Amino acid sequence: MKKSKMVNKKIKINFFQRKPRNGFSFSLEYIFEDIRKRLIDKIDARVFISKCYNDGYYSKFINIIEAAFRQGNDINHVTGEIHFLNLLMRKKRVVLTVLDCGMMPRKTGLAKIIVKWLYLTGPVKRAKVVTSISEATKAEIVGYTGCNPDKIRVIPVAIAPAFQPVHKQFNKTKPVILHIGTGHNKNLLRLIESLNNIECHLTIVGKLNPEYLEALSKFNVDYSNEYNVSNERLLEKYHECDILAFVSTFEGFGMPIVEANAVERVVVTSNLSSMPEVANEAACLVDPFSIEDIRNGILKVINDDNYRETLIEKGRVNKLRFNPDFIANQYFQLYQEVLSSKR
């Protein structure tokens, strides 16, 4: 009887999220907002947003203390980026999501040691269960912390329902190539150089710095640029393009791959990090450090009709792995498991 009552009762979940910054994309917040909506009949959710931005060590200390006072008696889910919030929480009640380990390669010396403990070693040790969004990220977490791999569960990111098939005749004469993001890992400079003398139009979503502008001029690439775009406008960009070029040097997941699959656009992406795992044969894989390989991949999807259509067809299948209800249920099953194991 007691077990039956526990199953029928809503599970109380406290979600801990970063304080968002104006002008930035809030994909992390969307992920868990959607999960909460899909589990509304199964969980009693409260959302706590950190008081301070994730800046210096003082603001982190304030956020850690605040989170400790806000923790609940059932499950506390730290949803990403602010991993350290669980350092003073009760371990048996914590689910920690690590989206990627991108903070590590950017640091050296003592700073790297501190960041490793603050973002990975300490939080992973203080969590009951860790979730990652890809096997690649899971491997990185294990590599950096030495934790038991069984402690980490891979739950991918769901595709937003707005991403649906939209037919477009492929423009072989002058294809529109979509590139999303202008951070260093997005590898835009190599992509620009690879497009030299290829008849195409490059659509760039993200703010361009002088180095990018100089490269676009040097390699004579026809382009357009927008940044701070809404989700609706970003979806339009997918509809308008013929090819998604997502040749990053590092990604914790790589959501644009799946979004392009869902809209039924051909994808060229990297053969490393999480991207082959996410693409699952539904993309042309290239070496992101080789300008020639990126160029050859772009030309192959432009010129080889059968190859291009095969990739699009595989994308129709691949997107099914990222069904929002299926992924929300994976989180719910995990919550049930944690709740049962801590009693």
- Residue 164 forms part of a structural domain: no
Closest CA to 339 of 128, 122, 42: 128
Q: Answer yes or no: are the C-beta atoms of 96 and 76 closer than 8 Å.
A: no
Q: What is the pLDDT of residue 5?
A: 47
Q: How many residues does the chain have?
A: 343
Q: How far is CA 293 from CA 141, 180, 297, 309, in A?
A: 30, 19, 6, 20
Q: What confidence tier does 38 reach under pLDDT thresholds 50, 70, 90?
A: very high
Measured distance between the N- and C-terminal CA atoms of the chain, rounded to whole angstroms: 16
- pLDDT tens column, 287-337: 999 999 999 999 999 999 999 999 999 999 999 999 999 999 999 999 999
Whole-number Å distance between alpha carbons of 209 and 181:
12
Instruction: Indicate left, alpha or beta for 181 from its phi (over 0: left) and psi (-120 to 50: alpha).
Output: left
- Domain range for 305 is 176-321
| 87 and 184 inside one domain | no
Lowest mean pLDDT among 2-11, 184-193, 243-252, 308-317: 2-11
The string of pLDDT tens digits covering residues 146-184 is 999 999 999 999 998 899 999 999 999 999 999 999 999
Indicate if 313 and 332 belong to the same structural domain.
Answer: no
- pTM score, two decimals? 0.84
* 267 and 132 in a common domain: no
Q: What span, in angstroms and rounded, lies between the C-alpha atoms of 341 and 309?
A: 48
Q: What is the pLDDT of residue 304?
A: 98
Q: What does pLDDT average to over the chain?
A: 93
Q: Are 48 and 15 in contact (CB under 8 A)?
A: yes
pLDDT digits (tens, 9 = 90+) for 74-106: 899 999 889 999 999 999 999 999 999 988 988
Q: Report the number of distinct structural domains present in the chain.
A: 2
pLDDT tens-digit readout, 175-208:
999 999 999 999 999 999 999 999 999 999 999 9
305 shares a domain with 180: yes
- The predicted pLDDT at position 8 comes to 64
* Six-digit token string for 279: 């693409």
Decide if 165 is inside a domain: no
Query: Is 317 in the same domain as 329?
Result: no
